[in-house]
Structure formats: C-alpha cells, structure tokens
Amino acid sequence: MPRIDINAQVLAQTSPTKDIFLLSVSAPEIARPAQPGQFCMLDAVEEDNLHDPLLRRPLSIHNVTADGVVEFLYRKTGRGTGLLSRLKPGRKLKILGPLGNGFRWDNSKSCILVGGGMGIAPLLFLAAALHKAGNPPAIILGAATESDLVRIDLFRTRAMEQGFFTATEDGSLGHHGLVTEVLLSLFDHQAHQAGEADTVVLTCGPFPMMRAVAAICREREIPCQVSLEAHMACGSGLCLGCAVESAHNADYIHVCREGPVVDAIKVKW
Ligand SMILES: Cc1cc2nc3c(=O)[nH]c(=O)nc-3n(C[C@H](O)[C@H](O)[C@H](O)COP(=O)(O)OP(=O)(O)OC[C@H]3O[C@@H](n4cnc5c(N)ncnc54)[C@H](O)[C@@H]3O)c2cc1C
Ligand code: FES
C-alpha cells in the first residue's frame, strides 16, 4: 500500500458554515492511489523547525479529482483543526496518506450509504466511485440541523434515482428525526421488492449512530461496514493509541491499521 508524506499546496479553503471547512490541496501523489474511506494525517505547521507531530490530525479523504486535487471536509473543533482552518491558498501543509483500509464493495450488490454529522465527509468520494462504476447508491445523510448538511447537491447527483434522503433532528430538512428511521423505512420498501438480500450498508458518523445502524443490519443479516474514529498520534500502527474494543476475545482493533473501515460485526458496540 503506497504511503506518501509530502508538502502539499493549498489551492482553496472555503467555509460552508461558521465551523465547517472545505480544504482543497494539490496532491496528485495521494489522489492517484486513494480509495474511498481512507484518510490522511494533516499538519498545518509548514516550517520544518516548527514541525509538531502531535499536531497531525486525521481527516478522511472527502473527494479527489482527476487532476490530482484532494479535498477534506472538516469541522473546526480544537487546536489542530483551528490551525488548518487558517490556511490560505498558496500555503503548504504536511500530508501523510492515503492511510488505512477503506470501504469494500461488490458492484453486483446495491449499496446504502448512511452518514451522520461530519461522518458525511468520506461518503462523497465513495458515492462518486459507486456512481462511476454504474452502481449509484442510495444515500441517507443526517445532522442536527439543515445548515450542518453541506454539499448535498453533490451527493444528490451521485445517488440512485429517487434514492437520496436527508434527516434532521430539528426537522429543518427532510425527515424529522434520525437517519436510522429512514433506513428502516427503506428496508421496509425494499422487502416489498425482495431486494434486501443483495444490499450492503456502508456508514460513517457518531458511534451511537453507527451502533444503531449496525444493530438494524445485524437483525436483518445485511452486511454492514462502519468507519471508526479514534484519537490518533502516529496514524501508522506504531503508537497503538487508536485502539477500539473488538467483539472477539477482549481484543482491540487499531483503527489506523485495521480500519478505519471495518465490518460492523467485528466491533464491540
Ligand atoms: C480516521 C479519521 C477520520 C476523520 N475524518 C474526519 C473528517 O473527515 N472531518 C472531520 O471533521 N473530522 C474527522 N475526524 C475527526 C478529527 O480528526 C478530529 O476532529 C480532530 O483530530 C480534532 O483535532 P483538534 O486539534 O482540532 O481538536 P482537539 O483539541 O484535539 O480536540 C477537540 C475536541 O475533539 C475531540 N476529538 C479529537 N480528536 C478526535 C477524534 N479522532 N475523534 C473524535 N473526537 C475527537 C476531543 O476529544 C475534543 O473534545 C476523523 C478522525 C479519524 C480518526
Ligand atoms: S494512531 Fe498510532 S497505532 Fe494507530
């Protein structure tokens, strides 16, 4: 698996909302091998003498373009993402990637993507890959409120016909409630059409949301993959700091090495 550590140039940074940012960098070396669901470690500190590995932060690859642009969609939450959010076009930043294992799918099966909060970030690249392969997915995106659901027009164009849904907790856009309620009604609809057996669910979002999605899938024996989050220092399997409890034998999943995308049945929920 190629892993590249480069100084990449910022091409653009926009802010669809007060605390959500879209960062575009020129990184053809990373764009070429990147797979949907993989991530990079980003370090906003440009100068070598200020290099601070503790400030590298993991972000999913949101999208890549044919001309080598890599996009990241992130919420400013603390120091690392705060520094990233101040980067202007022309500045350089250190990027290590693409890292980890992404989503796996088979184009003979229909895919349902379920994203919650900033968990929508890796799903655009995934939706684009599925769409390009002639297998456009059903997409369900949820958030607390409408303004958190960014770039939904792009998602909509990559979804199957009549297969794009939103849910907001305050009812400001789409279904008033949770993504899991939309997923259940989609399954009910599919069951009528006997399509459920050939379905796979691919999800990223807050842990409780993914736990609920995984439980629904387990009940129906539908394969489900989840993209896990953990605090990360090295991103390379060295520090063992990104452990999440595994469902098997009191073992651990190291998210940067075995994930971030794993089969839902492997996780201790
Ligand atoms: C594989 C992976 C992919 C990710 N992709 C994205 C993405 O595409 N977009 C995005 O917005 N965020 C993503 N994250 C989360 C992102 O890495 C954290 O929000 C970021 O590292 C916070 O750094 P900070 O220095 O700004 O905040 P800190 O000052 O380090 O922390 C601020 C707050 O965020 C919490 N936090 C920090 N790191 C994480 C983490 N890894 N998971 C959950 N909570 C955390 C802290 O507990 C604290 O409450 C991803 C995380 C992982 C592991
Ligand atoms: S972050 Fe160091 S082992 Fe995963």
pLDDT of residue 152: 95
Question: CATH number of the domain at 4-99, please?
Answer: 2.40.30.10
CB count within 10 Å of CB 43 equals: 22
**Each residue's pLDDT tens digit, 64-103:** 999 999 999 999 999 899 999 999 999 999 999 999 999 9
Is the separation of the CB atoms in 230 and 243 below 8 Å?
Answer: yes
Residue 49 has pLDDT above 60, yes or no: no
Q: Is the CB of 16 under 6 A from ligand 2?
A: no
pLDDT per position as a tens digit, 212-253 = 999 999 999 999 999 999 999 888 888 889 999 999 877 999
CATH of domain 110-266: 3.40.50.80
Structure tokens at 16: 């669809």
> Quick one: which atom of ligand 1 is closest to the CA of 57?
21
The pLDDT assigned to 248 comes to: 84
- Mind listing the pLDDT tens digit for each residue in 147-185? 999 999 999 999 999 999 999 999 999 999 999 999 999
| Ligand nearest to the CA of residue 23, numbered in listed order | 1
**pLDDT band per the 50, 70, 90 thresholds, residue 135:** very high
Ranges of CATH 3.40.50.80 domains, the chain: 110-266
| pLDDT beyond 90 at 35 | yes
Q: Which ligand is nearest to the CA of 57?
A: 1
pLDDT greater at residue 123 or residue 234: 123
C-alpha 169 – ligand 2 centre gap (Å) = 33
Give residue 96 CA to ligand 2 midpoint distance, Å: 13
CB of 200 sitting under 6 A from ligand 2: no
Distance 113 CA to ligand 1 centre (A): 21
In the chain, where does the domain assigned CATH 2.40.30.10 lie?
Answer: 4-99
Q: How far is the CA of 58 from the centre of ligand 1 (A)?
A: 7
Averaged pLDDT of the chain: 92
Q: Decide if pLDDT at 33 tops 80.
A: yes
pLDDT number for residue 112: 97
123-126 contact pairs (CB < 8 A, 24+): 123/155, 123/202, 123/204, 124/62, 124/63, 124/73, 124/151, 124/154, 124/155, 124/158, 125/34, 125/36, 125/37, 125/61, 125/62, 125/63, 125/64, 126/36, 126/37, 126/102, 126/202
241 lines ligand 2 (CB under 6 A): yes
Q: How far does residue 65's CA lie from ligand 1's centre (Å)?
A: 24
pLDDT confidence of residue 45: 74
Residue 192 has pLDDT above 60, yes or no: no
Amino acid at 141: L
pLDDT-above-90 percentage for the chain: 83
Who lines ligand 1 at CB under 6 A?
39, 57-60, 73-75, 77-82, 118, 121, 229-232, 260
